[in-house]
């Protein structure tokens, strides 16, 4: 539950910028490319620190590491409400990215330590659904606290930042004693029974490169939707900023259902005749199929049709994410978070390069489908590539958990 809540706070702090993009662009005099560069500042910082986070999460006490990281990103989110210049805003976003980079390496490692392997897909789906819970709460708060002309947007950043401080207190109180010791470091018997290999040999493993391919595809797709779907809905499909908040609620709620439901399905489909690996392949392929529902944007740019289809795409993306984290958790012990950090850094570097280019394209092109629609189409296809890579995952003998 605390991992879920941390991820909720994470996405509230992150997604507030996207929900307030129209007002922030006006206050800081940004065009679409300028907004893309602002998103890139967060991305570059995240990419740099997610590698640091990966190495620290495999070595440090996770109880304290999680608390410190969440406090850092919450302070950055709170300070955003006081930014008066673009430089100040960029600095806040950079610090936010540095702190938030620790969430997934730490949370995925905690799940690996305390949850049985066959149930990890469901656990990943539950904790990762915090992304969508946070993204649902943010537009609700925008509707309740921000005026029609953007009044109160600074207070919203302060409120989401303050939520993180409350989480830190609850986390340190709830993880005292034996439970805290279990989370802090891996169980001695788990380390002794596992096959431990040097980190450099990870790069010789087929499962690492499969996981890298899956992670890049799903991360690029999801973060394109996170950043640019709101602009697509407003600019291409002509929804108002008020309507946008309701549409984002629907998108992220559906994604949340997908995250938990697909993780649950992955848990239920495992049988003595159907291995964990085979189940994951089937589930990730089905989830990727949902993401292809974005393709009508190329042929039927209808608001009535596209909005519910985009919601189902969100469900599919969250399902692919749940399986991706399960693949990372099969990386040999002691290297889970480092590998997640490397994959995350690569994905965020690519995303950070793409965001300004997408904004520039939107500023200079007026395609018949819409300024953002061509990229929406490509982003919907990427999860299928992730699923195809996942199908090459090697089968393990029952009870085995070693490198291939």
Q: How far is CA 365 from CA 277, 351, 357, in A?
A: 44, 20, 12
- Say what the pLDDT of residue 338 is: 85
Greater pLDDT, 260 or 1: 260
191, HSE (Cβ side, Cα atoms, 13 Å): 9
- Say what the pLDDT of residue 189 is: 43
- Say what the pLDDT of residue 315 is: 92
Q: Cα dihedral sign for 185, 102, 110, 382?
A: negative
Give tens-digit pLDDT for 21-42. 888 888 898 888 888 888 889 8
SS3 198: coil
Residue ranges and CATH numbers for the domains of the chain are 2-390 (1.20.1250.20)
Cα angle, residue 251 at apex, residues 248 and 252 outer, rounded to 5°: 85
Chain mean pLDDT for the chain: 84
Give tens-digit pLDDT for 47-86. 889 889 888 888 888 889 999 999 999 999 899 989 999 9
What are the helix (H) ranges across 269-302?
A: 276-291
- Say what the pLDDT of residue 91 is: 94
Instruction: Please list, in sequence order, all residues whose beta carbon lies within 8 angstroms of the beta carbon of residue 337, skipping any fewer than 6 positions away.
Output: 53, 54, 55, 56, 57, 58, 105, 106, 108, 109
Distance CA 191, CA 173 (A): 27
- Say what the pLDDT of residue 161 is: 85
| pLDDT higher than 80, residue 113 | no
Q: How far is CA 175 from CA 66, 67, 102, in A?
A: 11, 11, 18
Greater pLDDT, 393 or 188: 393
At 315, list the tokens: 């469900």
* Overall average pLDDT of the 362-383 stretch: 82
| pLDDT higher than 50, residue 137 | yes
Give tens-digit pLDDT for 314-330. 999 988 988 888 888 88
| pLDDT higher than 80, residue 124 | no
- Say what the pLDDT of residue 17 is: 83
- Say what the pLDDT of residue 404 is: 46
Neighbours of 253 (CB within 10 A): 17
Distance CA 22, CA 119 (A): 41
Q: Cα dihedral sign for 15, 295, 244, 24?
A: positive
At 96, list the tokens: 């936010």
SS3 378: helix
């Amino acid at each position: 539950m605390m991992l879920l809540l941390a991820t909720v706070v994470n996405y509230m702090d992150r997604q507030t910028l996207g929900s307030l993009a129209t007002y922030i662009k006006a206050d800081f005099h940004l065009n679409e490319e300028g907004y893309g560069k602002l998103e890139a500042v967060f991305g570059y910082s995240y990419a740099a620190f997610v590698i640091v986070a990966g190495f620290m999460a495999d070595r440090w006490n996770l109880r304290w590491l999680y608390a410190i990281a969440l406090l850092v990103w919450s302070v950055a989110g709170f300070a955003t409400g006081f930014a008066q210049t673009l430089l100040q805003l960029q600095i806040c976003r950079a610090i936010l990215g540095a702190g938030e980079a620790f969430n997934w390496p730490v949370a995925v490692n905690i799940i690996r330590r305390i949850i049985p392997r066959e149930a990890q897909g469901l656990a990943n789906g539950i904790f990762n659904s915090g992304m969508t819970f946070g993204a649902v709460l943010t537009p609700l708060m925008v509707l309740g606290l921000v005026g029609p002309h953007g009044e109160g947007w600074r207070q919203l950043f302060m409120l989401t930042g303050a939520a993180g401080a409350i989480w830190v207190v609850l986390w340190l109180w709830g993880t005292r004693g034996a439970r805290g010791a279990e989370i802090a470091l891996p169980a001695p018997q788990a380390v002794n029974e596992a096959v431990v290999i040097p980190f450099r040999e990870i790069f010789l493993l087929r499962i690492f490169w499969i996981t890298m391919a899956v992670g890049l595809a799903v991360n690029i797709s999801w973060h394109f939707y996170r950043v640019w779907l709101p602009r697509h809905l407003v600019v291409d499909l002509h929804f108002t900023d008020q309507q946008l908040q309701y549409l984002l609620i629907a998108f992220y709620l559906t994604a949340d259902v997908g995250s938990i439901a697909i993780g649950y399905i992955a848990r239920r489909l495992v049988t003595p005749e159907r291995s964990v690996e085979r189940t994951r392949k089937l589930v990730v392929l089905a989830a990727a199929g949902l993401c292809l529902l974005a393709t009508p944007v190329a042929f039927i740019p209808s608001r009535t049709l596209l909005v519910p289809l985009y919601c189902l795409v969100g469900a599919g993306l969250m399902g692919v994410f749940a399986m991706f984290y399960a693949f990372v958790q099969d990386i040999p012990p002691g290297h889970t978070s480092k590998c997640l950090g490397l994959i995350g850094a690569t994905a965020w570097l690519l995303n950070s390069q793409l965001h300004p280019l997408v904004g520039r394209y939107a500023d200079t092109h007026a395609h018949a489908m819409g300024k953002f629609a061509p990229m929406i189409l490509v982003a919907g296809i990427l999860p299928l590539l992730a699923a195809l890579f996942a199908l090459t995952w090697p089968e393990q003998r029952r009870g085995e958990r070693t490198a291939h």
